[in-house]
Chain A
C-alpha cells in the first residue's frame, strides 16, 4: 500500500511540474493579445484593475470616461480594464502577481498601502517614469497629496481617486429646525447644537461615519489629527490612547449619548440620510455624486467642510486610492506611465472630479474654464472639501504583516463600540491600543 501512495504522490508531483513548465512556454502567447513587444509606437495593451470600473452609476461611468479620453489621446495604447471590488483588489493583484502576471496598473486604497508595500510587487514611480519626467509631472499637484504615495523616500504610487471628509447637509431639515443651511456649523460644538435642534423636529441629527469597515479609519485619523493628536508618533509608536486621541474620539461617544447621533451602523446612516431623515452626515466626499443623485426629488443637498474642534486647526486626512504600476515588461511599463501620467494630469483629475466627485489634486484647474471652471460655476458642492486640501495631513499607514488586522481591531473593537454601544472611550482605547501594539510588535 505504501508503494501505491508513494507512486500517487510522485505522479501528482510530475503532473504539477509538467503543467508548470508547459505554462511557462505558453506564456508569451498567452498575454500577447494586442501587444507586440518591440519598437516604440507599436500597439500595446495594458491591464488596468480598478474598483470603480464596471460598477453601476457614476463611479463606473467616470472611470470609463477616463479610459476613453486616454485612448483617444493615445491610439497606440489600449486599456484592458478589469473591475474588482475595493475590498478584494489587493488580494486579486497579489494572486495575479504570484502567478507571474500582475495587472500593469491598479487602483489600490490608501488603507491597503501598508499591505501593498509589504506584499505587492509595485514598481516605484522613479523607475516607471523616464528620466526627468516625474518631477515635471508632479509640479502643480498638492504637495500633501503627493506625499501620500511616498515611502522611505521613494514614490510607490501617485494620488489618484482621493477624497476628504465632508459634512453633508439636508437643507430642508436645517430650515425646519430654524437653522440656516447657508451658515453650516464649522465647529463640533455648533454641529452638536444644530443636531439637537434637528432632533427637536423629530428627525435624526448628525452621524459621523467613523465606525464603518476598514476604510472609515481615515475619519478616525481625521478626528485625532484635528484635535492635535496623531495615530502614529514620529517614532512609529501607536498613539491611539494619547489624551488628544481619547478627547477627539470622546466626541463620538458624546454625540451618541446626547441623542444627537443615532446609534446605527454606517449603511443604515447613509440610507437614513438619503431618505431625508438625517440632518447631517460626515463622510467621504466621494459619496457626493451618488448622494446628489439619490437626494434629487427627496431633499435639498448642501455640503460643508469637516467641523473643527474648538480653538484647534483642522487637519483632515484623505481616503481613496493611489494608482500603482506593476508591469514587468519595459514596453508595457512605458505605456503604463503614459496612462498614470494622463490619469493624474489636469485632464484626468477634471474627468474624475466632474463625473465621480473625487478631488481635483491640481489647484490650478479649479478656476480654469478649460478644466473645472464651468463645473464649479454650476455646482460648487465639492468646493468645501477642495478648500480643505490646503490643511490635509498624510494618511498614516499601520505597516507590517498584521497592520490590516490591527486596523480592523481599532475600527471594530474600539471606534464602533464607543460610537454605537456606549463603551467608555478612555478604557476602551487603552485596551485596544495595547492589543494593537502586540499585533504590530511595537
Chain B
C-alpha cells in the first residue's frame, strides 16, 4: 500500500525538481525565441510586445538574403573558426608538451609570459597585427584572418598544460625507455589520451572565433572574406537599426551552429564532462 504512494511521491518530487530547471531553460531560450519571433513580424508591429500580433511574414528574410550573401558569410566564418581551432590546438599541444616534458631554466618564466599574453586586450594588438598581416600581403585572405588569432592561444595552452601536468608520467617514461621519439609519444600517447580535452578546447575556441568581430572587420573589406559578425553590422546604421532584417539574418547565420550542436549534442557534453571543463 505504502509502496505505490512512495513511488508516486518520488515521481512528483522528481517532477518538481525539474521546475526550476525548466524556468532557467526558458529564461536562456527566451532571447533566441524572441529574435526568431521578431524576424517574422511585419514591420508595422515589430515593437508590439505580443509575439502573435499579426500574421507572420518572411519579408525580413527576403531583405536579409538580398542584402547579405549569407551562405558566403557562414562559409567564411566556418573556415576561419575551424582553422583557428585546429591551429590553436596544434600550437597549444606542442607548447603544453614542451612546458611539461622539457626542463629548462626559463620554463616558469615562459609559462608566466604566455599566461600574461591573455591579459593584453585584443584591441591593443590590433594595429601590430594589421601591420604584420598587411606586410605579409595577406589582407582579405583566409590566412590573414586566421594567422593573428593563432597567437592568442594562451587559454588553450593553459588548459592543455594543466591536463598534461597530471598526465601519468610512467606512460611517457616507459615510451621513452622503449626509444620512442617525442613526435611518436605526442601522436601515439598524448593526443589520443587527451582527446576529450582537445575536443572541448577546440569547441570553446571555435565558438569564440565564430563570434570574433574586430579583427575580421579590419582584415577584410567587402564581402568576399567577411564573416557573419561583420556582415550583420550593415543593419545597424546611424539612422537606426533595421531590427526585422537583422533578426532574420542573425537567425539564418546561427542556424548552422544550432544544427551542428543538435547533431553532436551528446558528443559535445561528453567531451566537456570527460575533460572536466564543463
What interface size band does chain A fall in?
A: 35 or more
A290 contacts B237, CB within 8 Å?
A: yes
Contact with A along B204-236 (1 / 0, CB 8 A): 000000000010011001100000000001111
Residues of B within 8 A of A284 (CB): 238
Asked if B63 is an interface residue, CB under 8 A from chain A, the answer is: yes
A100 to B134 alpha-carbon distance, docked (Å): 9
B127 contacts A56, CB within 8 Å?
A: no
A85 contacts B236, CB within 8 Å?
A: yes
Asked if B32 is an interface residue, CB under 8 A from chain A, the answer is: no
A23 to B243 alpha-carbon distance, docked (Å): 43
B240 contacts A294, CB within 8 Å?
A: yes
Asked if B256 is an interface residue, CB under 8 A from chain A, the answer is: no
A83 to B134 alpha-carbon distance, docked (Å): 19
A277 contacts B47, CB within 8 Å?
A: yes
Contact with A along B236-257 (1 / 0, CB 8 A): 1111111101000000000000
Give min CB distance, A406 to chain B, whole Å.
18
A275 contacts B239, CB within 8 Å?
A: no
Give min CB distance, A282 to chain B, whole Å.
15
| Nearest CB in chain A to that of B42: its residue | A297
A92 to B221 alpha-carbon distance, docked (Å): 11
Residues of B within 8 A of A290 (CB): 237, 239-240
Residues of B within 8 A of A96 (CB): 130, 134
Contact with B along A90-107 (1 / 0, CB 8 A): 011011101111000000
Give min CB distance, A187 to chain B, whole Å.
27
A421 to B108 alpha-carbon distance, docked (Å): 48
Of A47-55, A65-73, A151-159, which stretch is located at the interface? A47-55
- List A1-46 residues whose CB lies under 8 Å from chain B: 1-2, 5, 16, 19-20, 22-23, 26, 30
**Which of A19, A23, A60, A99 contacts B237 (CB under 8 A)?**
A60
Interface centre among A1, A272, A289 (most CB of B within 10 A): A1
| Nearest CB in chain B to that of A26: its residue | B137
Asked if B105 is an interface residue, CB under 8 A from chain A, the answer is: yes
Residues of A within 8 A of B104 (CB): 1
**Which of B43, B126, B234 contacts A55 (CB under 8 A)?**
B234
**Which of B134, B137, B240 contacts A270 (CB under 8 A)?**
B240
A59 contacts B134, CB within 8 Å?
A: no
**Which of A23, A85, A288, A356 contacts B217 (CB under 8 A)?**
A85
Question: Given contacts A5-B106, A30-B137, A56-B67, is CB(A92)–CB(B238) below 8 Å?
Answer: no
Contact with B along A160-200 (1 / 0, CB 8 A): 01000000000000000000000000000000000000000
Asked if A291 is an interface residue, CB under 8 A from chain B, the answer is: yes
Residues of A within 8 A of B214 (CB): 88, 91
Residues of A within 8 A of B277 (CB): none
Asked if A298 is an interface residue, CB under 8 A from chain B, the answer is: yes
B221 contacts A82, CB within 8 Å?
A: yes
**Which of B43, B46, B105, B236 contacts A1 (CB under 8 A)?**
B105
A297 contacts B44, CB within 8 Å?
A: yes
A272 to B243 alpha-carbon distance, docked (Å): 13
A98 contacts B106, CB within 8 Å?
A: no
B238 contacts A286, CB within 8 Å?
A: yes
B47 contacts A275, CB within 8 Å?
A: yes
Asked if A413 is an interface residue, CB under 8 A from chain B, the answer is: no
B135 contacts A19, CB within 8 Å?
A: yes
A370 to B234 alpha-carbon distance, docked (Å): 32
Question: Given contacts A1-B104, A1-B105, is CB(A98)–CB(B238) below 8 Å?
Answer: no
B47 contacts A95, CB within 8 Å?
A: no
B137 contacts A92, CB within 8 Å?
A: no
**Which of B131, B218, B240 contacts A291 (CB under 8 A)?**
B240
B240 contacts A99, CB within 8 Å?
A: no
Asked if A377 is an interface residue, CB under 8 A from chain B, the answer is: no
Give min CB distance, A133 to chain B, whole Å.
30
- The 6 A-B residue pairs whose C-beta atoms are closest, nearest first, are A275-B47, A290-B239, A95-B130, A99-B134, A23-B135, A55-B237
A-B contact pairs, 5 of them (CB 8 A): A88-B214, A267-B241, A271-B47, A289-B239, A298-B44
